[in-house]
Amino acid sequence: MKIQKEQLAAVLGQFNPWWRRESIPDLPSWHRASFGELYNWITTPPLPRAVFLSGARQVGKTTLLMQAIERLLASGVAPANILYVTFDHPILKLAGIDEVIEAWRERETQTGGIEYVFLDEAQFIRDMGTWIKHQVDFVKQRRLVFTGSAMPILRTDQESGLGRWHTIKLTTLSFYEYLQLRETKLPTLPTIKSLKDVIEWSSSEIARVGEIASPYVAHFHNYLIFGGFPQIARMDSITQAQKLLREDIVDKAIKRDMTATFGVRRVLDLEQTFLYICLHDGGLMEMSSLCSNLQVTRPTAQNFIELLEATHLIYRLPPFGYGKDVLRGRHKIYLADAAIAPAVMLRGRSVLDDPDALGVAAEAAVLKHLFARYYRQNVRFTYWQGKNKLEVDLVAEVANQVIPFEVKYRSQPSELKKLKGLLEFCSERKPDRGYVITKSLSDFGRLNTGSKTMQPIFLLPATLLCYWMGEMELHQFEEA
């Protein structure tokens, strides 16, 4: 649609204050772990590709873009060579990307050098895949970064977009980032490079770290109920935090975004599917039960689940194995953040008094932290189910290794009789090591299995695992 250039330029001016030599307001001074990777791809891309910053609503994508722009300006890039556009603005959405680029170049004359174009909510750009292909292939002096929901972009012109963008998956805040955001002052924990480091510690070192970590536990529980959405994580009132999270997830992400982005018409059925998942977070997905309870067909339910996964609200964990094992098996479904289910169900702090609910929240947090830390290394995450319904909560498969994780977030010390699934998996698959993720800081150290042939199984408190995973992710891309 043709928009008057003066009107379009005025809107662009509002979103690009650096053109007027003004600073970007309200930017946090600290950076998410993904900032280093994003900035490296913007400034020194290893391949000629655009960058796709993918993540749920309110997870901090726009803030990352603005921090990258701030860093580019500080490094000497000319303000006129940087464009930020958000396509959820009606004027920009109606104008289209080509009109926007033209209006930018008429308002701000190109000064030579590389141009940097940041496109927020890019799923609203018509023929997005084709446009990116053209830009990457033929406009060599321009670097592109775009955000948005994964599925509509990846479905559109999928073949033409192949190899044209690098995806950075932005999860909700890690526990480590949550503490940084809230500027929490705590005793310093030792830094590790790998979970293997902890296995080699002596009993005295383990006891010392357990003592240092003691004040972290209460903050970890707050993290589980407040969650990792940056705006909400800053709040002190759990009632207000859960209300805002519910409004952002249910009222906006599902009722509004799903309609606008995916053309979903049966919004009530989609919402009820999501509520059903909130009630069964971390469990095996019983499609027949879901369809029967909600009175929807299996294809409809399957489509809803795929949409929720594509918009980063859930993770689906397939069964361990390949081929028929996976096709016939049921998936486990986890919410993308431990705080979502308590917020949607308006449970307040009562989760902390419910051992089962707290265990599910801890399990969801562990999965998210492991995924955020290792997804770039092509790690495949599954769950394992053996004979007599024995299970292992999470199996990480990388190269020729399998590493099992069993979450036992209970007050009682871990006992062998409650770890039958993990022991059977280790006996059958012979992994190099395994981990039991525990609740108590005293439930920490090597597990005595009584076997001289079995590889080590290590007890590791969830508080420490989530802290270290977040810290390791942050240091994976050290800033220049």
- 143 & 223 share domain: no
Question: Which of 170, 193, 223 is the endpoint of a domain?
Answer: 170
Residues 97/268, Cβ–Cβ less than 8 Å: no
Tell me the pLDDT band of 258, cut-offs 50, 70 and 90: confident
- 84 & 187 share domain: no
Eight-class DSSP state of 19: G
What sections of 47-96 are H helices per DSSP? 61-74, 90-95
Q: Tens digit of pLDDT for each residue in 344-400?
A: 988 999 999 999 999 999 999 999 999 988 888 888 999 999 888 899 999 998 878
More confident residue, 153 or 309: 309
- Consecutive H or E run containing 169: strand 165-170
Residue 122 has pLDDT above 60, yes or no: yes
Mean pLDDT, rounded, for 176-180: 96
More confident residue, 83 or 128: 83
Mean pLDDT, rounded, for 160-164: 65
| Beta strand extents in 62-161 (DSSP E only) | 82-86, 115-120, 142-148
Structure tokens at 254: 């599902």
The structural domain count of the chain equals 2
At residue 350, the pLDDT reads 93
Residue 153 has pLDDT above 70, yes or no: no
Distance from chain centroid for Cα 64: 14
The DSSP-derived string for 402-442 is EEEEEEE--SSPP-GGG-HHHHHHHHHH--S-EEEEESSTT
Answering whether pTM is above 0.85, one says yes
d(CA 129, CA 152): 10
Residue 453 has pLDDT above 70, yes or no: no
- 145 & 205 share domain: no
At residue 157, the pLDDT reads 47
- 134 & 185 share domain: no
At residue 127, the pLDDT reads 83
Residues 19/459, Cβ–Cβ less than 8 Å: no
- 96 & 231 share domain: no
19-23, 93-97, 247-251, 257-261: least confident range: 257-261
- For 387, other C-beta atoms within 10 Å of its C-beta total 8
What residue type is assigned to position 77 of the chain? V
**What domain range includes position 469?**
176-476
Establish how many alpha carbons lie within 13 A of residue 222's alpha carbon, considering only the half-sphere containing its beta carbon. Answer: 18
d(CA 194, CA 191): 9
At residue 231, the pLDDT reads 92
Q: Tens digit of pLDDT for each residue in 45-89?
A: 999 999 999 998 889 999 999 999 999 999 999 999 999 999 989
At residue 273, the pLDDT reads 93
Residue 339 has pLDDT above 50, yes or no: yes
- 346 & 465 share domain: yes
What residue type is assigned to position 182 of the chain? R
Residue 150's closest CA among 84, 57, 40?
A: 57
Residues 283/332, Cβ–Cβ less than 8 Å: yes
At residue 480, the pLDDT reads 32
Residue 160 has pLDDT above 80, yes or no: no
Secondary structure of residue 455 in the 3-state scheme: coil
65-79, 192-206, 313-327, 453-467: least confident range: 313-327
- 162 & 181 share domain: no
Residue 324 has pLDDT above 70, yes or no: no
Question: Which of 126, 150, 170 is the endpoint of a domain?
Answer: 170
- 124 & 187 share domain: no
Q: What's the whole-number average pLDDT of the chain?
A: 89
Tell me the pLDDT band of 152, cut-offs 50, 70 and 90: low
At residue 220, the pLDDT reads 98
Tell me the pLDDT band of 479, cut-offs 50, 70 and 90: very low
- 275 & 397 share domain: yes
At residue 285, the pLDDT reads 87
- 76 & 213 share domain: no
- 431 & 448 share domain: yes
The CATH number given to whatever domain includes residue 141 is: 3.40.50.300
Laid out side by side, the sheet with 380-385 consists of 380-385, 391-398, 401-408, 434-438, 457-461, 445-446
Mean pLDDT, rounded, for 434-448: 94
Residues 431/401, Cβ–Cβ less than 8 Å: yes
Over the Cα atoms of the chain, what is R_g?
24
Question: Which of 170, 202, 219 is the endpoint of a domain?
Answer: 170
Distance from chain centroid for Cα 84: 23
Mean pLDDT, rounded, for 103-127: 91
Tell me the pLDDT band of 444, cut-offs 50, 70 and 90: very high
- Consecutive H or E run containing 333: strand 332-335
- 136 & 15 share domain: yes
Residues 267/255, Cβ–Cβ less than 8 Å: yes
Residues 93/54, Cβ–Cβ less than 8 Å: no
- For 44, other C-beta atoms within 10 Å of its C-beta total 8
55-69, 122-136, 152-166, 258-272: least confident range: 152-166
